Every structure is written in structure tokens, then in C-alpha cells.
Amino acid sequence: MAAREIPVYLFTGFLDAGKSTFIQSTLEDKRFNSGEKTLLIRCEEGEVEYDFSTFSGQNVDMQTLEDEEEFNETALQKMAEDTHCERVIIEYNGMWSMQTLYDNIPEGWVVAQEIHFAEAATYPVYNANMRNLVFDKLQTCDVIVFNRCSEQTDLDALHKIVRQANRRCNIFYEYPDGRSILDEKVDPLPFDINAPVVTIEDRDYAYFYSDLMENTDQYEGKTVQFKALFPQSGKPMPDSVFVAGRMLMNCCAADTQFAGMACYRGKHEKPRPGSWFIITGKIRLQRNRLFSGKTPVMDVVDLRPAVEPEEPVATFY
């Protein structure tokens, strides 16, 4: 029997970023809170204490988790059973890994929305000193809200921090006078997606791969060329298929993984594992039984040996 589906509203950010204040106002809003059985999971003690008496609906149970080890499937499932909740709100600790969350949310819990909160003045400092934690929260969020902006806030710098990790989320800048400004700046891709052959320079591979995964449909039928590696290890594949891509570092050396796609070689000779080559191919979308929807694959048009690039690991910097 399939698990009952429970929507999860996830709020992330470092201490004093504005998560509790937003959750408080959200639960005071009758449009959101009309009495549904709500489980509120608080993963850190902030300066703002919840005032349950002002909530629009009075059917909210709060549970507090103080340590990351406590955030496990068994504990979360017990909370849901004890409260008979219809939905879950999580105020997630900014120092905890998002992998912990996604590895442990119970079956049937579905993240309906993920909002990241940040204090505009201190966020560049967090980014400079704890880039891995910043990137960790940015890469999956749907919305980021920068609180306490001023006329001196460098909006371009904040925009750049976000877009290096996430090109699809909405960015809002909140001011003490109540103004809320949507960031509508359009970032041009560092390559021409409408060219007859979309040529990806070595320095732009991370942006290409990120955009390919986020806007897959736009690449269907496109002919693309880039320098790639055929990794020495990986899952066994049919002789007609190989994998082409690059090692990609999201934020730090510990967060490096291979980012590539399956390539159908046709009449071309299969590359030697561990070799570099310049590949030109036409992208098509293929249904993948491991994922919902389709995934991009490439039909090889041309394949030429190449030397290893000066920076073999792709980055967003």
C-alpha cells in the first residue's frame, strides 16, 4: 500500500535570516492556514519565538530537533503518526546538510516548496567562508529571499552568488520599509544556444551542463560541441554507448562528481577509457526508467582526440 502523500513546506537559511518571522506570518494568514493539521518541525532555536495564539488555524503541533542525527526517518515518521498531520513545515538548520534532509524524509513526504532566507549584509561573508553550505542550500531552492536590504546593498553581487548555483529560482530583495523587489535580471548564457553548432568552451562546461539539466527541452535537436572525458569507471554499458562529460565541482573539492550524458557512437570508434576528445553530437530526449520524464542523450556526429584541458574539473568560477 502506497504511503499517504504529505506536502512539505521547507524553509532554509542561516540563523537570524528571517525564517521564523516568515513562518509566523504565514501561519497567521487564513489563506494558508485554515485549520489543517500541521506539523511544524523546528531544527534550531532562533531569536523569534512562535506565538501560537495568533495563528489563523489552531491545529499546529511543533516538534524541535536539536542535533542533525535526530533528523532521521524513524523520528520524522513517528512525529507524523503522533500528530496525524496533513502537512509539514520544516524550519531547517542552515548548518545541516540538505543531503541529510532528502535522505531521511519519510516515504510519501513531498517537498511542495523550498524557500531559502538570507540576511543581505552577512550573506557574502557566509559565501566567502562557508561556500559549501551556501551552495548546498541554494542549488535546490525554488525561491530565495534576501532580508534587510538597503540602498547600499550590492544586488549584483547577491545575484551572482545565487546564479552560480541555481539559474531557475526566483530572487526577492526585501527592504525594512516593506518593499519587496523581484530580481528580473536576465543572465545570458556564455554560449549561443541558437548557433548551428552550440560550441561550449572549457570554462563554460559547468554552465552548459547546469542549463541542460534545468532546461532540457530547449536542447532537443541542438547540435553541441565540447571537450569531454570518457571516465575510466562507471556502470557497464552496451558497446554502442559511452559516457562523455567532465568532473564538475559545485562548491568545494569534496563536492565533485562526474557530469555527463550517454552518447550513441554510431559508426565512430569508441573512445578509450580515461581519454579526452572533442565531441560533436545532436541531443535528443530519451525516457529513462530511473527518472520521471526524459533525459538528454547525444547521437555522435564527430569525434576527435584532444589533449587534457588546463583545468580538467569544471567549475562555476
What CA–CA distance (Å, rounded) separates 152 from 185? 18
> What's phi and psi for 179, nearest 5 deg?
-65, 140
CATH classification at residue 137 = 3.40.50.300
Check whether 106 has a pLDDT greater than 70. Answer: yes
162 and 298 share one domain:
no
Amino acid 115: pLDDT = 97
Q: Is residue 1 part of a domain?
A: no
pTM reported for the whole predicted model = 0.70
Q: Is residue 141 part of a domain?
A: yes
Among candidate residues 136, 155, 182, the one where a domain is terminated = 182
Query: What's the average model confidence in pLDDT over 12-41?
Result: 94
Where is mean pLDDT largest: 30-34, 145-149, 233-237? 145-149
In a domain, 301, yes or no: yes
What tens digit of pLDDT does each residue of 196-216 get? 999 999 999 998 998 998 889
Both 173 and 243 in one domain: the answer is: no
DSSP letters for 5-28: PEEEEEEEESTTSSHHHHHHHHHH
Number of structural domains found in the chain: 2
Residue 290 pLDDT = 45
| Single residue among 182, 207, 224 that ends a domain in this structure | 182
Region 65-71: what's the mean pLDDT? 95
Q: What is the CATH number of the domain that holds 224?
A: 2.40.50.140
Residue 74: domain span: 6-182
Mean pLDDT score, 249-266: 82
Nearest of 119, 97, 105 to residue 41 by alpha carbon: 105
**Same domain as 158, residue 11:** yes
Cα dihedral sign for 97, 99, 102, 103? negative
Whether residue 44 is contained in a domain is answered as yes
pLDDT, one tens digit per residue, over 122-177 is 999 999 999 999 999 998 899 999 999 999 999 999 999 998 888 889 999 999 99
pLDDT averaged over every residue in the chain: 91
Q: Which segment of 109-118, 276-285, 306-315 scores lowest on mean pLDDT?
A: 306-315
109 with 29, same domain? yes
pLDDT of 47 > 80? The answer is no
Residues 225 and 140 in one domain: no
Task: Please state, for a pLDDT cut of 90, what percent of the chain lies above it.
Answer: 79
The answer on 302 and 230 residing in a single domain is yes
Q: Are residues 49 and 157 in the same domain?
A: yes
> Looking at the structure, do residues 168 and 299 belong to the same domain, yes or no?
no
Residue 202 lies in a domain: yes
Residue 1 scores a pLDDT above 60? no
Say if residue 234 is in the same domain as residue 292: yes
Q: How confident is the model at residue 46 (pLDDT cuts 50, 70, 90)?
A: confident
- 170 and 214 in a common domain: no
The answer to whether 302 and 282 have CB atoms below 8 angstroms apart is no
| Structure confidence at residue 3 as a pLDDT band (50, 70, 90) | low
Query: Which pLDDT does position 288 carry in this prediction?
Result: 63
pLDDT at position 110 over 50: yes
Which of 182, 206, 232 is the last residue before a domain boundary?
Answer: 182
- The answer to whether residue 116 is domain-embedded is yes
Q: What's the pLDDT score for residue 282?
A: 98
Q: Is residue 92 within 8 Å of 9, Cβ to Cβ? A: no
Q: What is the pLDDT of residues 289-312, one digit of tens each?
A: 544 568 899 999 999 999 999 999
Residues 51 and 176 grouped into a single domain: yes
Check whether residue 293 and residue 205 sit in a common domain.
Answer: yes
Mean pLDDT of 97-114: 94
